[in-house]
Amino acid sequence: MNRRLWWVLAPLFIISVLVIIFLLLAKPVDKLVFWKQEAVRPSTVVTMEKVFICGDRYILSEGPAPQNLVKADARAVASRFPENAGWQVDLRLPTAVRITSKSDEFCPRHKLYRHLGLSGGFVVVFQGPLGFNHKLLRCERRLPEDSLTPGLREKLALGMNFGAQRPETQAQLRRELEFADETQLNAALENLDELQE
């Protein structure tokens, strides 16, 4: 019985001694993450970006940590860029920090986009690509919904629920109801007969 106990306790003793030696030699400041709180270092890559309502991302800056962030821990970084102020912080300390600003505007490219939809019984023009019916620019009172052909009325209704459509339908709606700028939109409105076919 003593021999069995010896075979169980001896390996446990050896493992315990090795763990203690490792912990003493590891210098917890540099090696063991759980012994300290990670912080931003001068070599930490900090990326600042802006995410627009359309989903596009623009990198504002990327490089070594600015001096005012060096030595800041996760809590300090999060308090400088609070979520309730529109920030999102992704910490991968000590190597990287990504700080994202959320914008309720369109990116410069999509800001020029226009698309047609329906609201209040009339054809309306929205800012941005299809699927973003947030900013109504104008109502085309000369184009009441009941004066449109059934085909165009259906396309406009599908466009108002763009995200729920199949990819093929989305592609077709983009070709017919989405415009890269105001000039293309106005040309399409003048030739509305073509859209109604």
Report the 10 Å Cβ neighbour count for 64.
Answer: 14
Q: Which of 70, 86, 89, 68 is nearest to 78 (CA)?
A: 89
The pLDDT of residue 29? 47
103, 49 Cβ separation under 8 angstroms: no
Domains of the chain with bracketed CATH: 45-102 (3.10.20), 112-196 (no CATH)
Note down pLDDT in tens along the chain; length 197 residues. 577 777 777 777 888 877 777 766 655 444 444 555 788 899 999 999 999 999 999 999 999 999 998 998 888 998 999 999 989 999 888 889 999 999 999 999 999 999 999 999 999 999 999 999 989 999 999 899 998 999 999 999 999 999 999 999 999 999 999 999 999 999 988 887 555 54
Q: What is the pLDDT of residue 193?
A: 53
Q: What is the pLDDT of residue 30?
A: 45
In this prediction, residue 27 carries a pLDDT of: 52
**Measured distance CA(93)–CA(89) in Å, rounded:** 12
Instruction: Tell me how far apart the alpha carbons of residues 14 and 111 are, in angstroms, rounded to a whole number.
Output: 67
Q: Specify the pTM.
A: 0.68
Q: Where are the alpha helices (DSSP H) in 43-191?
A: 74-80, 108-111, 150-160, 167-177, 182-190
Is the distance from CB of 39 to CB of 90 less than 8 angstroms? no
Residue 31: the pLDDT is 47
Can you read off the two tokens belonging to residue 176?
A: 């017919």
Q: Which long-range contacts (CB under 8 A, 24 or more apart) does 143-146 make?
A: 143/189, 143/192, 145/118, 145/121, 146/121
